[in-house]
């Protein structure tokens, strides 16, 4: 997925709930990061895992995915997060991985409004779907290479309010991205 050398080494951790990856972001401070491929459901014969990522909180022992860490090493962290995708498919070659940002959930706009400083117009929350956009941009930029190894799908809400998924189209405004490994 990402062969950049500018990434942190990861530790793989098995879990009955899926697969976890751990690494330390060494920017302005040291932050323990956790990538979680958590089992969601078996749907239409496919085991589907959610691709989640956040900071480990030493005090609460929980993962926080709603904050922007601003540790000064965002590209290196992003490269590291992406580098875990092939590792996931080594373990689960026939399963599906889905990415849906924490700011793409239903009701995000309403939760954002009371504390947001941006003066967004109605139904045009600028903070919504920011996280999935980062992944989409990466897929869009590298689609030709990635598409040889993975089959991508994009999720969107149609005019009738139905959630739909189609074969990924570059540049389209998706709220989720999922992928399976091609049998090459």
Note the residues at the interface with another protein (CB under 8 A): 11, 13-17, 20, 22-24, 32, 34, 36, 38, 40-41, 43-44, 48, 50, 52, 54, 56, 61, 63, 65, 98, 100, 102, 105-106, 155, 162-167, 176
CB of 76 to another protein, least distance (A): 15
3-class SS of residue 111 = helix
Measured from the CB atom, the residue of 1 and 175 that comes closer to another protein is 175
CB of 119 to another protein, least distance (A): 27
86 within 8 A of 1, measured Cβ to Cβ: yes
Q: Which helix (H) or strand (E) holds 30?
A: strand 30-43
Q: Which helix (H) or strand (E) holds 110?
A: helix 108-112
46 within 8 A of 96, measured Cβ to Cβ: yes
Three-state helix/strand/coil letters over 33-65: EEEEEEEEEEECCEEEEEEEEEEEECCCCEEEC
Measured from the CB atom, the residue of 122 and 158 that comes closer to another protein is 158
CB of 19 to another protein, least distance (A): 11
Beta pairing class for 96-99 and 46-57: parallel
CB of 133 to another protein, least distance (A): 17
Measured from the CB atom, the residue of 58 and 122 that comes closer to another protein is 58
Measured from the CB atom, the residue of 16 and 148 that comes closer to another protein is 16
């Amino acid at each position: 997925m990402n062969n950049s050398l500018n990434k942190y080494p990861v530790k793989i951790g098995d879990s009955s709930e899926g697969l976890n990856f751990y690494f330390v972001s060494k920017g302005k401070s040291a932050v323990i990061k956790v990538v979680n491929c958590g089992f969601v459901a078996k749907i239409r014969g496919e085991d589907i895992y959610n691709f989640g990522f956040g900071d480990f909180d030493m005090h609460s022992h929980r993962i926080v995915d709603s904050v922007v860490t601003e540790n000064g090493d965002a590209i290196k962290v992003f490269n590291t997060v992406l580098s875990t995708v092939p590792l996931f498919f080594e373990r689960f070659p026939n399963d599906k991985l889905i990415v849906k940002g924490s700011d793409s959930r239903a009701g995000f706009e309403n939760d954002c409004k009371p504390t947001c400083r941006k003066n967004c117009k109605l139904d045009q929350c600028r903070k919504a779907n920011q996280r999935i956009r980062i992944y989409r941009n990466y897929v869009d930029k590298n689609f030709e290479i990635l598409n040889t190894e993975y089959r991508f799908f994009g999720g969107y809400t149609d005019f009738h309010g139905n959630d739909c998924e189609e074969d990924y189209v570059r540049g389209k405004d998706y709220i989720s991205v999922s992928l399976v490994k091609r049998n090459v």
